[in-house]
């Protein structure tokens, strides 16, 4: 028997390794596997396309139907247009129509074939395939294309005609109201009236912030590495510009506050200078007047409480008995009795103890008491006394009313 020959090997680069897909309308596509494996990691993982070389999908039961085709939830027409761009059979194939390019764009966006998506966008952005404004907005919202949404909103705001009723229904009433407000602000700024200082694109982005955030997040996954790098550079420049504008606004605010403070300080200084000039003028016009001297009155010296003087005692002629005081009974005055020497009233001294009228009585000898008392009475009457002149505040008693009168 001739020796058995080994089975042939297949070249992994030039031998076609195909894969079979089955669309929703029951159409089979046997296409090269490599582009579907290398151009989108997401598509290969979802449909479990391995990198090993095999003919598992090419085996048939009756040489016509594959055993294990991969089902796709898409019709044959859009998938055929997509395959013509992903793995073309010739370079000079027929051009795609606008509908076909939209099919390619939709599948490329859903399956993350980012290079095919970029190519479809370039074709659809040409004047040949330019979309109307409302179709552009709807397609941009559906396929996560922020540039189409922004350009559509900008065209509605800047056109000459306002938003019509049917157009507001297409856009949605909330979107239509927001665009009308932006349009009014734009017209004011255009014709010289006071409007917003921000650009029109910034106003649109701010008014539809939540919508653009969703679109930007989806666009991040559909960008090519070069586009992602460019977008990151644009983002960094935008952040730097915003920070610079914020710093500039803060500087302007501080400058304005400083200028206002300097203006207020200058006005206060001018007012103070005017007051000083007025004060100097008043001082120069009025003569110098001496300040009044306030005299303090001396308080009188009060040595003690002054009680009313006792009624003087008189003696009847030829008798040593004193006459009774006024208001008493005459029988009492006529009653005989021993002679009584009158004693001074027990009251607080009017004079200091050394000048008391009774001090002479204590210092005199026996038999001289009445003479000393008369001498003191004479002192009370204002005569000169060895004790000095009586104080001015003491009541002066005339000599005729002395307590002892000798007739």
Q: What mean pLDDT is predicted for residues 111-119?
A: 91
Q: What mean pLDDT is predicted for residues 234-262?
A: 90
More confident residue, 98 or 90: 98
More confident residue, 397 or 23: 23
pLDDT value, residue 381 = 46
Q: Distance (Å, rounded) from C-alpha 175 to C-alpha 137?
A: 12
The percent of residues in the chain predicted with pLDDT above 70, rounded, is 63
Q: What mean pLDDT is predicted for residues 129-142?
A: 91
Banded model confidence at residue 88, pLDDT cuts 50, 70, 90: confident
Lowest mean pLDDT among 8-12, 260-264, 376-380: 376-380
pLDDT value, residue 290 = 59
Q: What mean pLDDT is predicted for residues 44-67?
A: 64
Residue 333 has pLDDT above 50, yes or no: no
pLDDT value, residue 52 = 67
Do the beta carbons of residue 303 and residue 351 sit within 8 Å?
Answer: yes
* Domain chopping of the chain, boundaries: 9-130, 131-223, 234-280
Q: What mean pLDDT is predicted for residues 370-377?
A: 47
pLDDT value, residue 155 = 93
The mean predicted confidence, pLDDT, of the chain is 75
pLDDT value, residue 181 = 92
Between 3.40.1190.20, 3.30.710.10, 3.40.50.300, 3.40.50.970, what CATH number should domain 9-130 receive? 3.30.710.10
Report the first-to-last Cα separation within the chain, whole angstroms.
206
Q: What mean pLDDT is predicted for residues 173-195?
A: 85
Residue 308 has pLDDT above 80, yes or no: no
Q: What mean pLDDT is predicted for residues 139-156?
A: 92
pLDDT value, residue 239 = 86
Total-model pTM? 0.55
Tens of pLDDT, residue by residue over 194-222, are 656 678 888 898 899 999 999 988 888 88
């Amino acid at each position: 028997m001739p020796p058995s020959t080994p089975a042939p090997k297949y070249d992994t680069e030039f031998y076609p390794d195909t894969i079979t897909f089955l669309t929703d309308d029951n159409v089979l596509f046997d296409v090269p596997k490599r582009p579907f494996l290398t151009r989108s990691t997401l598509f290969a993982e979802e449909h479990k396309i391995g990198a090993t070389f095999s003919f598992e999908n090419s085996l048939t039961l009756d040489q016509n139907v594959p055993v294990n085709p991969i089902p796709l939830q898409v019709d044959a027409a859009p998938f055929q247009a997509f395959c013509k761009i992903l793995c073309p059979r010739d370079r000079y194939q027929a051009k795609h129509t606008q509908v076909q390019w939209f099919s390619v764009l939709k599948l490329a966006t859903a399956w993350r074939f980012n290079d095919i998506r970029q190519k479809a966008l370039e074709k659809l952005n040409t004047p040949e395939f330019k979309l109307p404004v409302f179709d552009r907005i709807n397609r941009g919202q559906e396929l996560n294309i922020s540039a189409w949404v922004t350009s559509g909103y900008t065209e509605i705001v800047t056109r000459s005609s306002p938003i019509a009723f049917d157009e507001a229904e297409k856009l949605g009433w909330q979107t239509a109201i927001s665009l009308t407000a932006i349009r009014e602000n734009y017209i004011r700024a255009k014709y010289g009236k006071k409007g917003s200082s921000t650009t029109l694109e910034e106003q649109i982005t701010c008014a539809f912030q939540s919508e653009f955030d969703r679109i930007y997040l989806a666009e991040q996954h559909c960008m090519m590495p070069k586009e992602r790098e460019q977008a990151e550079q644009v983002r960094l420049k935008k952040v730097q510009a915003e920070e610079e504008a914020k710093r500039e606004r803060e500087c302007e605010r501080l400058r304005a506050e400083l200028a206002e403070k300097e203006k207020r300080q200058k006005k206060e200084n001018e007012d103070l200078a005017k007051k000083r000039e007025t004060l100097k003028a008043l001082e120069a016009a009025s003569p110098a007047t001496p300040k009044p001297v306030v005299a303090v009155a001396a308080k009188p010296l009060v040595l003690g409480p002054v009680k009313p003087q006792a009624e003087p005692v008189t003696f009847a002629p030829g008798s040593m008995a004193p006459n009774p005081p006024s208001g008493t009974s005459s029988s009492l005055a006529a009653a005989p009795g021993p002679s009584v020497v009158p004693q001074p009233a027990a009251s607080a001294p009017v004079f200091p103890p050394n000048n008391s009228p009774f001090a002479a009585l204590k210092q005199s000898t026996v038999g001289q008491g009445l003479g000393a008392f008369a001498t003191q009475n004479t002192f009370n009457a204002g005569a000169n006394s060895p004790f000095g002149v009586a104080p001015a505040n003491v009541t002066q008693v005339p000599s005729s009313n002395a307590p002892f009168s000798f007739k």
